[in-house]
A and B are shown apart, each in its own frame.
Chain A
Amino acid sequence: MKLNKALATVALAGSVAALSAPAMARDTISIVGSSTVYPFATVVAERFGTKTDFSTPKLESTGSGGGLKLFCQGIGTQHPDITNASRRMKTSEFELCQSNGVKDITEFRIGSDGIVIASSKDAENLDLTLEQLFLALGSKVPVNGKWVANPNKNWSDVDASLPNKPIRVMGPPPTSGTRDSFNELALAAGCDELPEAANLGKDEHASICESVREDGAFIEAGENDNLIVQKLIGDTGMYGVFGYSFLEENADRLQAATLNGKVPTAEAIAADDYPVARSLFFYVKKAHVGVVPGIAEYVGEFTSNAAMGQNGYLKDVGLIVPPRADLMELMDKAESMPNLTLGELK
């Protein structure tokens, strides 16, 4: 009988522990969102944890879309307080937020990131225009005025000045914000330079200009950019698409292709001179400020000069920091926390 009692006690203890869960208040900030912003936000979170008496925020890397979906799920401590994004919130996501009661949101634009096309230092470097990039990687390209499945096998098929080597490019999967930005900023921009693109309808434009070929020339490599870097070093015929911070980390082994004649440098990306640059954001749920302790202070830390100034620690981890004037604006925003409106997103 003793065993019987012991079993019953253990089972009861387990179920009591499980049922008491919903009543829990949370004293740790919960942050979700983009894997591109993750390396920067984690550094801020850790600094914030050591500097202040608040506990260190918890960060999940869910991707920009996944993060916004969780963020817009509702108000209450089971939902995240802040979401990071490597693109701006879409109007549809804003409306989802509104319909779930997440009315007051503040948007912070926290600097930029560039997408680079890199290869091993031993490989032949590419000097591409966006148009050539589209012709090499688009799923359909115009041949004699007709859109057909991309027939280009070698880089030299695209343009005689390019190396006579097969087109093989590794890049992020469609779930990634990097891929969204790459499609939008690199491929669509290159597509628009073709005279044939002018005649495309809106839907056709999206399906043709923003899609990557699927015949094996473009290899999806998962979210792990380190893997792409290692593949590139081992294979000089391969090119890779990833964020600028990975290029910087591996600067003595990788080189970046020039796009429209521009070399990706921190300066060129910050000045929007490099064509494939994007802004990074985070969004704060104002209803949670004051409920979960430390949100305002965390935002303050993120927008401080120590973090995002010209000598800030985020610069050391590869963030391309905003100019001083923008940073001052961000600081004001962190204090007043203005509401994001639908009009701003359109």
Chain B
Amino acid sequence: MTDQRSQAEIVRQSLKRRYRKERRFRAYGIMAIAIALGALIILFTDIIGKGYTGFVKTTITMDVQLDGGMMYLDDPTDERQIKMADFVEPLVQALIKEIPGATEEDRKQVRELINPYASVTLRDALKNNPEWLNTTRTLTFLTHTDVDVYVKHAGDGAYSIKLNEQQRAWVDDLLERNVVDTSFNNVFFSGGDSRDPSKAGIVGAIVGSLLTMFVTLILSFPIGVAAAIYLEEFAPQNRFTDFIEVNINNLAAVPSIIFGLLGLAVFINLFGMPRSVPVVGGLVLSLMTLPTIIISGRAAIKSVPPSIREAAEGIGASKMQVVLHHVLPLAMPGMLTGSIIGMAQALGETAPLLLIGMVAFIVDVPDGFFDSATVLPVQVFLWAGSPELAFIERASAAIMVLLTFLISMNALAIWMRKRLERRW
């Protein structure tokens, strides 16, 4: 009796300590999650804080007198004349008129406010609308990047303002009268890379990524699924298949740069494929994603209960019918989920592409699998390393675009798993 009571006493006494221990343990868990979430929040606020201005462009709207004499142009359909015409002069004259107090003497300073590619815009507009010659049109152009930086980041210590006092006063005045204005940066979503931050766009990189991902998917998915089915359903259990299995698992852990080296040695040097093309990028990335797809495919096939196989076999289905009619359809959601996660990984990859020449300055939007291309993460890398400060916000904006793609791919994977997965 006394013994038992004392034991209960002991338990009661230790109870408090044990509860405390549990509370502490829970607190550790919460702390770990808080740290992870905190890091994520810091990352996102930094990227968004730095990058949202990348989605804003600064434009200037003015009445441009398209005087043929001033441009040395009397027939905008004549290629030769277009080549030798002066498309800068009308812009400078129009802007001098917009700025009260500016005279012909200030032309250099005025010219520095206009984007160097505005004259190309004017040229193309005239080429497409020859009847505009010798009329006055209200047109909108990009401002110079220095103006863009000043409008968006005046007073921000992280940016150097390169306009002088006079130019700043002019821009302030033009801003007040809405001649200079900011709007959504559609240039960013309609063009390829450029060395002028105001004109740089991300479409080239997006198209390059899509082409590369298409090649990756078309190669790695069928091969991965076929390998998974064979290894799981048909292969005999022996030393050799064990060896293959170990190697596939190891391959999934190989650093991606190694696949780049392999691609360089085999696809480019041995097969003589061109550098910087999405096909080679896709081949290299499919080597990288294959193990992920095989491993997830095998897991999906394993999770199909044996009773289904036995039932099919019981009514006389051949092994192949069992696999194709019953096991594969049931395992497909799991395989797709694995593939999407593998593809999302490949989408964010830069290291292997460095070696096969996809880290390059490419202006034209690629229009085929054998056209030079770059991909989204590479574009971020290239912009982050550029000397122009205005590229910092473009790099952050590109990161946001990349993250949007990745998050939607992962969301698709989760949705498919929720929607299609069967529980037994």
A residues bordering B, Cβ < 8 Å? 1, 3-4, 7, 10-11, 13-14, 17-18, 21-22, 24, 26, 28, 30, 38-39, 42-43, 45-46, 49-50, 55-56, 58-61, 77-78, 80, 223-226, 245-246, 249-253, 313, 317-318
Contacts and interface: CB of A to CB of B under 8 A. Distances in A.
A78 B324 contact: no
Contacts of A224: 384-385
A150 B310 CA distance: 77
Nearest to B83: A51
Contacts of A42: 195, 361
B218 interface: yes
Nearest to A2: B324
Contacts of B219: 11, 14
Given A10-B222, A50-B120, A26 B274 contact: yes
Contacts of B369: 17
B223 interface: yes
> How big is the B interface, by class?
35 or more
Contacts of B385: 223-226
B194 A78 contact: no
A249 B160 contact: yes
Contacts of A59: 360-362
Contact of B223 (A11, A58, A318): A11
A48 to B, nearest CB: 10
B101 interface: no
Given A17-B279, A38-B361, A249-B160, A226 B384 contact: yes
B82 to A, nearest CB: 11
Given A18-B279, A58-B362, A61-B359, 5 more contacts: A21-B272, A22-B271, A28-B371, A30-B275, A250-B389
A249 B388 contact: yes
A146 to B, nearest CB: 42
B350 to A, nearest CB: 13
A181 to B, nearest CB: 17
Contacts of A58: 276, 360-362, 372
A60 B357 contact: yes
Interface string B400-412: 0000000000000
B109 interface: no
B387 A226 contact: yes
23 contacts: A14-B219, A17-B279, A18-B273, A21-B274, A21-B279, A30-B276, A30-B372, A38-B361, A39-B386, A49-B364, A55-B364, A56-B362, A58-B276, A58-B362, A58-B372, A78-B272, A78-B275, A225-B385, A226-B386, A249-B388, A250-B160, A252-B160, A317-B195
B228 to A, nearest CB: 13
Contacts of A10: 218, 222
A345 to B, nearest CB: 27
A290 B147 CA distance: 41
A223 B194 CA distance: 21
A187 to B, nearest CB: 25
A254 B364 CA distance: 35
B226 interface: yes
List the 7 shortest-distance A-B pairs measured between CB atoms, nearest first: A56-B363, A59-B361, A21-B273, A60-B360, A22-B272, A58-B372, A42-B361
Contact of B387 (A28, A245, A253): A245
Given A1-B324, A11-B222, A22 B273 contact: yes
A38 B370 CA distance: 24
Contacts of A46: 194-196, 363
Interface in B207-261: 215, 218-219, 222-223, 225-226
Most A CB within 10 A of own CB, among B215, B283, B357, B363 = B363
A43 B195 contact: yes
A68 B196 CA distance: 27
B116 interface: yes
Contacts of A38: 361
B218 A13 contact: yes
Contact of B117 (A50, A249, A252): A50
B96 interface: no
Contacts of B304: none
A60 B117 CA distance: 23
Contacts of B117: 50
B328 interface: yes
Interface string B70-109: 0000000000000000000000000000000000000000
A246 B274 contact: no
Given A24-B274, A252-B160, A78 B268 contact: yes
Nearest to B395: A226
A269 to B, nearest CB: 16
Contacts of B357: 60
A78 B328 contact: no
Interface in B260-310: 268, 271-277, 279-280, 283
